[in-house]
Chains A and B, each alone.
Chain A
Amino acid sequence: MKRNLLIISIVGGVAVLLGVGVAEMRRMGSGHGYEPDQPINFSHKVHAGENKISCRYCHFAAERGRHAGIPPTELCLNCHSLVKAGSPEIQKIRDALSSGKPIEWVKVHEFPDFAYFNHAQHVTAGVQCQQCHGPVERMTRMRQQEPLTMGWCLDCHRQNKIAPPNHVKTAAGGDCTKCHY
């Protein structure tokens, strides 16, 4: 009996470890839920939510190319040369511009080198920013809302939620080299 218990507990323990291990491995490095401090207390909630500034005003490269891009620092001053110009946070922007030393934002959405993702493609097809980035307009501090794992990408692509244009049969499809090259 005692021996059985021992075996059961060992087998059970290994099973639990394996289960946790596999679950963790799947999550490992995905950065799901990552919400780091940023050098400037920039709030997407204020900008995109309350003031309803279009995402593409700052992330204008999203409809042009691979990267959505962090807006160039000078772009902030389009508004902030007048709006809240006295804020110490805005002062950091002016300091960066005058010193020539760029602001070191902490990267939230880290996409691995071995995969290719193109923002323009998704934006043009009508995918909403929030579909991958979560309710950014309600985030005071930027958070990685979705796991951004391969399975997560494929979930969406398999359902083919977005109707591809007439001359294209499928959106991306399941080929490895659609993203990995």
Chain B
Amino acid sequence: MGRDEKHEMTDNPERNYWQDIDNPKSPPGSASDEFPQEHASEFFDSSLVNKSRRDFLGILGFAFGAVPLVSSCHRMPVKKALAYLNKEERVTPGIANWYATTCGGCSASCGLLVKTREGRPIKIEGNPENPFSRGGVCAVGQAMVLGLYDSYRYLKPQVGISDVSLEEVDREVIKRLTEIRSSRGRVALVTGEIRSPTTLKVIGEFISRAKADHFIYEPVSLFPIARAHLQTHGQAALPRYHLDQADLVVSFSADFLGTWYSPIEFSKQYASRRAPDPETSMLRHIQVEGSMSLTASNADVRISVTPSREAWLLGVLARHVAEMAGANAGASLLKATFGKELAAEELDKTAQDIARELWAAKGRALVLSGSQDPGQQILVNAINHWLGAYGKTIQLSASRAALSDPDRFELLLSDLGREKYQAVILWGTNPVYSHPGFPRLVEGLKKAATVIHLAEAPNETSTFTSTSTMTKIVCPTHHFLESWNDHDLGEGWLGITQPVIQPLRQTRMAQESLMKWMGMSISYPDYLEANWKKNFFHVQKKHASPQSFWTTSLHDGIAKVSGEPLSLSGFRADSLRGVSAPELGKAMELRIYQKVSLRDGRFANNPWLQELPDPITKVTWDNYAQLSPKASKSLGVKTGDLVRITKGSIPLVLPALIQPGQNDNLVSIAMGYGHLISGKTGKNVGQNAFIFIDARGVLDSTSVTVVKEGGRQELSTTQMHHRMEGRDIVRETTFARFKNNPSAGNPVQEKNPTMWSEHPKDQHSWAMTIDLSRCNGCSACLVSCQAENNVPVVGKDEVFRQREMHWIRIDRYYEGDESNPRVVHQPMTCHHCENAPCETVCPVLATVHSSDGINQQVYNRCVGTRYCANNCPYKVRRFNWFDYPHEDNWKKAIYSDDNDWRNMALNPDVVVRSRGVMEKCSLCIHRIQDAKLRAKKEGRPLADGEIRLACQQSCPTDAIIFGDLNDPASRVSLSLKDPRHYRVLHEINVEPRLRYLTKVRNQT
């Protein structure tokens, strides 16, 4: 079939996909810069290249002669083998142990299964038993295992500037706390948000015994949602959303697939309603957002407005919904607030359209908002109430969470200034980095005689708060993989955190430190167990004895203790009186957002996260000012040109990034960068955007100026490497067309004539299918693969040279108008072609076909010619330009010190590749082998779904299907019969084993 013919057959021949905003219509052949020569030349300036043929033969002859000479007198290096003296019963060398625990990466508290080998955690996977995360883990969760081995963490406690033991620190703290109590002084305990009932119990006891006041600070918090529910429903409850029960979700800047609230849970729910089925309906998703977040990129309809207009739109929408619902009191209140101005008229048409759609989906609709302003959350609650969402798409349950409280934190700042507190304990929070009132905080802390830091690693707060008049005490805390804890997950579920390794350093759980300091002799794990048996055993129904309740819960990592939904007093319409209309932005507005990789910045020292390409911009190791193509044109800047953003008198200079789809009057900057105090990985990477947020944590600003600064800062992006070159690499259609014809947008790919004989068929035939309708681009697979397969981190400079090593890349294509394009995410990894072009060009047979259809890469045969990478049509091969895990230069550039422990996270079942070797996706061959070996040992055939690849396991949308094509009933075999199924680059007849299912959008 000719190419032109095929284009006529595609769904929409006018579709023009593009990746690169500087040159959307890139000329054919422009991918020739894939192996840029100027970067390669640094390796060929050695004297060897200039040798004559004669010299070369001489060297060769000498080398051959030297072998017998050297080998005849060589001696094997003597290696020692040390056995356990007393073997721990459950630890057997070579056999992995798995423990269920709960993630400490963010407040979503997803369920984890941690793989440990010889007592070392090496891989984090999702716990399928967890009813919310259901086996998914995000990129941040995956990367936590590397953070455990971070050498920048505190090694031991400190009093003043001297290192001390835990006993000494206890003596010192107890002495001071006793003095304060006897002199009737006060202690301030400042923590991050806490969702652990047992930890809150410890804090409660500490507060009463040590005469302390508890303050909570979190830069990005869910407190506005709880606060709004207090006003609208009389309870400070945190809802659980059920997107899978909804037919329509309208999100106002809530990045619920990427960073907001509980992304893995939402991704699971969302994907279950986004895989198209002609028999049922498909979830429709409208996103109102000025920037291009991960969630916005997946929306069926994206409405691009600035943050202040977004707030207005929400208000006007609420008015319309109130009118439709006949809620006259609410409607008139809203009319008074959101009825007068020009903005209301301007947004009225859009609001009416959304309101009509929402009303049509009444009872199966859901509105979300990512705003940190409680007023907007009240509007969201009102709309959801009128739409009948409560009890259907929203479940409220009593919240045991202690959430951030800006008013109380303000009180702390003023009280510190008045010297009310003689001692301040800061636990797991870094306000000096992220709070706008940090100068007052630093000054206030200097007035306290004692400041105690319960922190994992040095940060801005634990560093910038010491003077000669005050004693700084550091009592370092465990990593969550070394800790015990519990978590309130809502809807009556509790999660357990259990340690998976002995503490690596002289650290201690913060709870235990507090318990020691108030004179309790019991350890925190014992306290936790006792608390569970005493307080949660009675409210559960499953177990007969407290002991079986505890052991089973610990084993499962999760327990259901109560299930009654909250009885609510009903919606209070007068809560709408508290809502005020925001000031409208007149020129540029600003939004601070969270990146999928770095979130609020607490894990900035994690190289996996720093090198994770942003799902949308594909930039690594930096933050930047995102500007629309039009705005950047009028400013005269290109991507990488420095711009100065000023809010009031606060300036920030950042490189610009031209972002298609960005609102013309909005500049977006990622938070979490610009750490002054961090290990080498996170220090001085990007700029700290927290300087722009206000004291209430609101992330948007109405009025900023952006000017061209002059100068450039290159961004290390993985975006420019790979282009579509006008081929139908992504195939897509709309749900309406799909219902008529399930293979809409997916013309038949006829079998090409071939000169190759088929590979002989053996027992298995592995293949993979990726569903583009499910995949949302979250990049969890990428970090999972990195952890599983010992993929090295290369650093910013190397990414700039296009030498990133990730085995999976997620191609992101824009389509349509650059002011509001549609976005496609397409994971790309080795296609394991039947007629693999790489195999035919390898001069040393280092890449060959296996009997079960895998394109094998044999590292110890590879001599690094890179012919295979040149000949790979999918560009998925990666070359080791250096011995990244071992060469000191690389470790020094990225890690904090020479003695870094992060190689301890390497997977011992996968070879660590050395310099000069090509590598690529192996289809997790070690997992296949492991499952096969297990089945053989047990004398049974392999079951379908028994092998789960690293990417597949962590995928929160279950977009990846893997299995055996020789089994006609396997899921992957069935996926090949799916009318949405297609091959990428079918015309070159490589017969890939990685196939795709077309993307279906719920658009008209």
Contact = CB atoms under 8 A, between A and B. Distances in A.
A105 B850 contact: no
A70 B95 contact: no
Contact of B910 (A24, A106, A124, A181): A181
B67 A61 contact: no
Contacts of B858: 176-177, 180
Interface stretch (B101-109, B534-542, B921-929): B921-929
Given A21-B71, A175-B850, 15 more contacts: A17-B65, A21-B68, A67-B93, A72-B87, A106-B81, A110-B79, A114-B859, A125-B936, A165-B936, A167-B940, A170-B762, A170-B763, A176-B848, A176-B856, A180-B911
A51 B64 CA distance: 50
A12 interface: no
Nearest to B87: A72
A96 B93 contact: no
Contact of B65 (A21, A71, A105, A176): A21
A134 interface: no
Given A74-B86, A175-B852, A24 B79 contact: no
B67 A105 contact: no
B86 A181 contact: no
A121 B939 CA distance: 11
B925 A181 contact: yes
B854 interface: yes
- List of 8 A-B pairs having minimum Cβ-Cβ separation, nearest first: A66-B94, A72-B87, A70-B83, A24-B71, A67-B94, A65-B94, A175-B850, A65-B95
Contacts of A73: 83-86
B85 A181 contact: no
A177 B933 CA distance: 14
Contacts, number: 149
A105 B72 contact: no
A100 interface: yes
A164 B941 CA distance: 12
Nearest to B82: A102
Contacts of A71: 83
A106 B78 contact: yes
B85 A102 contact: yes
Contact of A72 (B86, B95, B929): B86
29 contacts: A17-B64, A21-B64, A34-B76, A36-B78, A65-B95, A73-B83, A73-B84, A96-B85, A97-B85, A97-B86, A103-B82, A105-B82, A106-B79, A106-B80, A107-B78, A107-B79, A114-B859, A116-B909, A120-B933, A120-B937, A125-B936, A167-B939, A168-B936, A173-B851, A175-B852, A177-B850, A177-B925, A180-B856, A181-B909
Contacts of B184: none
B81 A29 contact: no
A177 B922 contact: yes
B937 A121 contact: yes
Interface string A49-77: 00000000000010011110111111100
A177 B76 contact: no
A7 interface: no
A155 interface: no
A118 B909 CA distance: 11
Nearest to A73: B85
A25 B67 contact: yes
Contacts of A66: 93-95
A11 interface: no
A181 B84 contact: no
Contacts of B933: 118, 120-121
B72 A24 contact: yes
Contacts of B82: 102-105
B762 A69 contact: no
A20 interface: yes
Interface string B905-947: 0000111100000000010011001000101110111000000
A170 B85 CA distance: 40
Nearest to B859: A114
A64 B95 contact: yes
B51 interface: no
A141 interface: no
A169 interface: yes
Contacts of B922: 177, 181
Interface in A87-106: 96-97, 100, 102-106
A110 B75 CA distance: 13
Interface string B815-826: 000000000000
Given A71-B83, A72-B87, A64 B67 contact: no
A65 B68 contact: no
Nearest to A171: B936
Interface in A17-50: 17-18, 20-21, 24-25, 27-29, 31, 34, 36
B76 A116 contact: no
B930 to A, nearest CB: 9
A158 interface: no
Nearest to B939: A165
A58 B937 CA distance: 21
Contacts of B95: 61, 64-66
A58 B84 CA distance: 13
